[in-house]
Structure 1
Amino acid sequence: MHSTLWIKGTKSKSLEGKTVVLAVTGSIAAVRVVELARELIRNGANVYAVMSEAATRILHPDALHYATGHEVITDITGGVEHVGMCGLQGMADLLLIAPATANTISKIAMGIDDTPVTTFATTAIGSGVATIVVPAMHQSMYDHPAVNSNLEKLGSYGISLVGPRVEEGIAKIAPNDDIVLAVERELMGKKLAGKKIVLTSGATAEAIDPIRIITNRASGKTGQELAREAFRRGGDVTIIHRNELDADGINEVYAESAASMLDSCMEEIGRGCDVFISSAAISDYTLDSLGSKIKSGQKLILEMHPTEKILPQVRSNYPAIVTVGFKAETGVGEKELVGSATRMLEEYGLDMVVANDVMAGGMGTSENSIYILQDESSASHYSGSKRYLASIIMDRVEQILL
């Protein structure tokens, strides 16, 4: 076994059993694909690389041989590599063209195949193999009307586009995390396709004055992992928070206070929603903010009052949607934690509650220990990374939807 394959599946099994052909063209962004290949492998994929001649002048094929663990295709030979990989009975599940130059995009749109990459693209599109294109070029090239037209044409062929991120006068290749997420979405079955998922995440903050706030220790990692997992499964995802996820394809709504989060939730759900997940650590108390900064050095007494709860409002106005609540306690035993979650489940009429003792861990960490309840008779316990726990929670959501 090639030593690179030792990392296979070390991050997740999301792409286990899937074969991705990584096609590289002559953009300077080609230097990024060594790590991209390894990220795909870390998530379980088998990766094979094909390069245009222009790409080999930027990145040596040996680098991708190392990165993928397989010989790199730089020429179409009598072995008809494009057919064996992306033909009607080919071994590839997906063709990922990253980076894709303006030249290559235009050739693919017109059905021209004069490089190994464009030959693979023509074959994949003709065979119905899933294809993702990741553009990268100077902004002036990206803004050319013909390039825009050709990108639209690729979309009409059923090709997914990831990025680019336009900054510093360059249409830059999307981050590797966004590309991997798009590959996962394409290959994981899309069981949530056509479903809109709205979720809250992280801590809210209540203003004391224009400078100072009262907040809590929630990091938002759980909510962000839930958003990514719902997106991987084909969902139309909106995350409401005061953090920044910045993931291509996931809609973000900024909400700072408990009141603004409630308003945003009702607005988003009102546009149509199938699943609402309330994973944010929403402030239980707020106060009347002062209009100017409080002078330092003086004794300060704050009068606080309870915030309005989101879950009862959602459940009352939209009883048909799947609704998931989160319950956090501190320093309690299993019996008390499960009992508290059970009362929440019954009081709000929720479909599911996720509970954990945040004193034992979870806030700000990458791992957690949770209990999942769907009725008062049973509670299932899970521990692991927040990504793993997000997959368990979304498994449950899928079962409820079915």
Structure 2
Amino acid sequence: EDADAILVAPATRNTIAAHLHGMQQGPLLMALSAARSRSTHVLMVPSMHGDLASDPVTDDIVERLREEEIDVMWGDLQEGKRKTPDHEHIVARFAHGINSRKKYRKSVVVTLGGTYSPIDDIRGIQNTSSGKTGFQIADDLYRHGHDVTCVVGKTSVQMPGWLPLCISAPQPQMMLKELMAIANDDIDAWVHTAAVLDYVVENPANGKLASQQGPLDITLIEGDKHILELKSKTIGSTRIGFKLESGIKQRDLIHRAVAQIEHSGMTAVVANRLEDLDDASKPRGYLVDKQGSHFVLENELDLCDALRTIIERGD
């Protein structure tokens, strides 16, 4: 029977070698042989002792697998063995491999987390953002076969270990520098979930400022707006921003989102209010498009589905 993909986990060296030599000893090898003739996606997860994994013959076998466009996923070396990775990592990699063959797969950059501006070597100011939403969006896009790059600020949640490229950029200028460099590549879509500081410390002190010295005056200056700085370098790309407000009516929230779209050249903006985020009776946010239409996003799944649809359409 035809299959979308085949996962072999764990894959012994014997099984790998038998497949490469066209052996037909059992249903698994027969299925792998059929997959080869049909160019079906295959993911193999080798598991064996460290000495066997480092054998030059094993290297040759794995190289031949990759020449046949079979995806090979090694686990970490633990207790002298190359053990099978955790199931979440395997499923994410498997899903990415299957879906990357579909049409309309894109190169996507996702910014996430908060940003930090130092006062001195010890203290600083920082936006409050865990990075959870950004990682969820990046994970969803990766599992659906897109080429995802994350530019990561300060976060407080665990990063999915299977995301292929995550660049650390905790300060606003560091993040902007990375984004400007990435913009030189052929990027199809940008998702700006990072909470970038609007104001940064003008003159951070060297060392640590002494304690108990009375009032401390700190001058804040307006920082660069990343989405504006990138505007001229992302012409033709899909650009999605996030707008978090507080203490305003829903109507005004939508108006501010439309203004950001018009001013910054965005494709769409996800708008929400701080006071709604912990209220289960309120939607996750509102997706606002270039025409000023807005759509309710009830939860994180709705959010991921909506953004992925926009990115795949290439709006």
1:69-84 matches, within 5 Å, as none
Q: Does 1:341 align with 2:257?
A: yes
Distance 1:387 1:290, change over 3 A: farther
Are 2:122 and 1:217 aligned?
A: no
Which of residues 207, 225, 228 is equivalent to 1:309?
225
CA deviation map 1:280-303 (0-9, x unaligned): 111112113222122333433322
Asked if structure 2 preserves the Cα contact closer than 8 Å seen for 1:341 and 1:355, the reply is yes
Q: Does 1:278 align with 2:192?
A: yes
Give the RMSD, CA atoms, in angstroms.
2.4
Shift of 1:133: 0.9
Question: Which residues of structure 2 form unaligned runs of 5+?
Answer: none
Q: How many residues align?
A: 308
Match of 2:33? 122
After TM superposition, give the deviation of residue 201 of structure 1 in Å.
Answer: 0.6
Q: How far 1:214 moved relative to its partner?
A: 1.7
- Decide whether aligned partners of structure 1 residues 172 and 294 sit closer, same or farther in structure 2, where only a CA change above 3 A counts: farther
Identify the match of residue 260 of structure 1 among 174, 180, 193.
174
CA distance in 2, matches of 1:175, 1:269: 34
Task: Return the TM-score normalized by structure 1.
Answer: 0.70
The match for 1:145 is 56
Q: Tell me, yes or no, if structure 1 residue 176 matches structure 2 residue 76.
A: no
Shift of 1:226: 1.4
Q: 1:191 to 1:328 in 2, by over 3 A?
A: farther
- Residues 1:234 and 2:136 are matched in the alignment: no
> TM (normalized to structure 2)?
0.88
Q: Deviations over 1:236-274 (max 9, x none)?
A: 110000346243352111101011000011111212211
Q: Matches of 2:94 and 2:57 in 1, distance apart?
A: 27
Distance change in 2, residues 1:112/1:294 (3 Å): farther
Identity, in percent, stands at 27
What displacement does 1:140 show? Answer: 2.6
For residues 157 and 313 of structure 1, do their structure 2 counterparts lie closer, same or farther at Cα, with a shift above 3 Å needed?
Answer: same
Instruction: Indicate if the aligned counterparts of 2:110 and 2:192 stay in contact, CA closer than 8 A.
Output: yes
Q: Does the alignment pair 1:328 with 2:244?
A: yes
In the alignment, which residue of structure 1 is the partner of 2:311? 397
Instruction: Indicate the SS of the match to 2:14.
Output: helix
- CA deviation vs aligned residue, 1:292-323 (integer Å, no higher than 9, x gap): 12233343332211111110111122322221
1:20-39 matched pairs, under 5 angstroms: none
Asked whether the 8 Å contact 1:192–1:234 carries over to 2, the reply is no
Could you say if the C-alpha distance between residues 349 and 131 of structure 1 is closer, same or farther in structure 2, counting changes exceeding 3 Å? same
**Distance in 1 of aligned mates of 2:259 and 2:95:** 37
Write the distance in 1 (CA, Å) between the matches of 2:311 and 2:28.
40
- The superposition leaves residues 336-359 of structure 1 with CA deviations (integer Å, 9 ceiling, x where unpaired) of 110110110011111111111122
287, 292, 307: which one pairs with 1:372? 287
In 2, distance between residues paired with 1:153 and 1:227?
A: 31
Q: Is the 8 A contact 1:105 1:147 kept in 2?
A: no
SS state of the match for residue 245, structure 1? coil
CA–CA separation in structure 1 for the residues paired with 2:80 and 2:160: 20
Match of 1:97 in 2: 8
Aligned partners of 2:283 and 2:296 also within 8 Å = no
What SS does the aligned partner of 1:256 have? coil
CA distance, structure 1, for counterparts of residue 283 and residue 180 of structure 2: 29
